[in-house]
Structure 1
Amino acid sequence: MTPNMGSAAGSVQLNGTFSSVSFRIEAAPNSNEGAGGDGIEMALTFDVDNDTPSLTWNTFAGGAGSDYIEDTVVDASGNVYVAGHGSATWGSPVRAFSTGEDAFVAKFDSSGNLLWHTFLGGAGNWDYANGIALDGSGNVYVAGESNATWGAPVRAYTGGTDAFVAKLNATTGALTWHSFMGNASSDWSYGIDVDASGNVYVGGASLGTWGTPVRAFTVAAG
């Protein structure tokens, strides 16, 4: 496992992907274990107490396909938000799974109970969520990539693989808005952050110019 890490007062959250649900640990996991078997990769999140290095809780997130966690963030109340992608539906999502691999976002409380999860994606082969952040009001922002349009974006999908940014309601998981960034070639977004004024910053890569950049695009990678 290559873990992603988040933190709250007195604890550390580790998130990653395991290739077997028969993973052994000292405490029993919460009841969110998916239906996959050995050889099926599943997302896993668990909490380790900082003062006495022991497992507080762990839980699985996923279904019968492959599920991956790419990033995590923790709010002031200890709720854990994870972003990733999966190849099958599971549970009762706020927004339904579409096809191929869909990005997903999930919220767990400080005890590891799943509060909500939602899928983000369309009819293409893949939609990935690579980064996640919170603003001062607790709203959730996700950065990722898609190879097809979905929903009603603020800025339209252009073609190939486009980067996207999405805003979700932290209480319900409902999609507030999303927007694509890119051109007809390939564009990816990897990291995201939000400042005190609610401005959203996304970092990624592009194989062609788009929009009206401050500094011009130079040349695609050879």
Structure 2
Amino acid sequence: MPVSFYADNGETLPVHFQQSADENGYTISYSTLAPDLFTREFIIDPVPEYVWGKYIGDSLNTEVRGVITDRFGDVCICGMTQSIYTIATAGAYQDTITDSIGDAFLSKYTNTGAMIWSTYFGGPELDVANDVHIDTSFNIVITGTTYSPIGITDSLGHQDTLGGDADAFVARFNESGQLAWATYFGSDSLDVGMKLSMDFDFNIYLSGLTKSDTAIATDSAFQQNLMGKLMDLLPNLIHLESCNGQVIMAEACTMRPQELLLGILPCISPV
């Protein structure tokens, strides 16, 4: 849906929308609790206004793969970098790169574009962060893929050893950019964390891809077994506790190879 809101004297009031279809066609309706609606301008899909932009990285490769803002407009980005300089800030959780192929990174900026903090995240092999999410307490969660057997997890998480050639990972940082916990998620083959969301209790939902045929789905899951061919990449849905990264539920979901699950709908309103 396009961005939509009521505007009056610089004030922005969000609206809710509902979709319906009948024999007469497809209808989208909007509603809001704001009073005096007829005195306010209703904006649908406004023209974006350029506010600020930043480079990050040095002469080596740096890729931004995830971005999100909190309710104050501060921005978090994540991705993969080979850059030795200009990534980590003083006091960062990890202030040096550990692998020339690439480490994941996580950076936070103010709503005016000033860097608040930035950190590497990775071990001695390739590590890539694909998505980032912020909860209402300003904790930050990232997911991605790691080939590193060390330098990723801690004792609190669901899985503290690399299961295969590459595993998905989930890592939770506090508002200041220090690691709260991190966990591998994967088994004997390739596992990739792609997208994150959270619910009202700050539990984490992870979607991604797996080729592993063991240690993915939990008991009573919708699909407990890998059903595709050996080389198929299959979506998975993981539900993690936010406080310590323990798995509540996990299931596989077979699709054709071209139908990869690359997103997950948010469970709560933006922070």
Pick the TM interval, shorter chain: 0.7 to 0.9
Q: Which one of the candidate residues 159, 169, 176 is aligned to 1:164?
A: 169
- Confirm whether residue 179 of structure 1 aligns to residue 183 of structure 2: yes
2:146 counterpart residue number: 146
Instruction: Return structure 1 stretches of 4+ with deviation > 4 angstroms.
Output: 50-53
TM-score, normalised by the number of residues in structure 1: 0.72
More displaced 10-residue stretch of structure 1: 82-91 or 100-109:
82-91
- Amino acid across the alignment from 1:83: C
2:231 counterpart residue number: 221
Q: Secondary structure at the match of 2:51?
A: strand
Alignment deviations for residues 144-173 of structure 1 (CA, whole Å, 9 cap, x no partner): 000112244321211201100000112x11
2 CA distance for matches of 1:89 and 1:194? 32
Q: Is the 8 A contact 2:186 2:216 kept in 1?
A: no
Percent identity reads: 23
Matches within 5 A, 1:34-183: 53-91=48-86, 92-93=88-89, 94=92, 95-96=94-95, 97-99=97-99, 100-124=101-125, 126-149=126-149, 150-153=151-154, 154=157, 155=159, 156-170=161-175, 172-183=176-187
- Amino acid across the alignment from 2:172: K
Unaligned runs of 5+ in 2: 1-10, 13-44, 233-271
Unaligned runs of 5+ in 1: 1-8, 11-49
Q: Is the 8 A contact 1:141 1:168 kept in 2?
A: yes
2 CA distance for matches of 1:72 and 1:206? 24
Q: Secondary structure at the match of 1:185?
A: coil
2 CA distance for matches of 1:160 and 1:72? 27
1 CA distance for matches of 2:180 and 2:166? 22
Q: Is the 8 A contact 1:136 1:196 kept in 2?
A: no
- Amino acid across the alignment from 1:134: I
Q: Is the 8 A contact 1:80 1:107 kept in 2?
A: yes
TM-score, normalised by the number of residues in structure 2: 0.60
- Confirm whether residue 188 of structure 1 aligns to residue 192 of structure 2: yes
Q: Secondary structure at the match of 2:123?
A: coil
2 CA distance for matches of 1:212 and 1:55? 43
TM-aligned CA distance change 1:53 to 1:206, over 3 Å: closer
Shift of residue 138, structure 1, vs aligned partner = 1.2
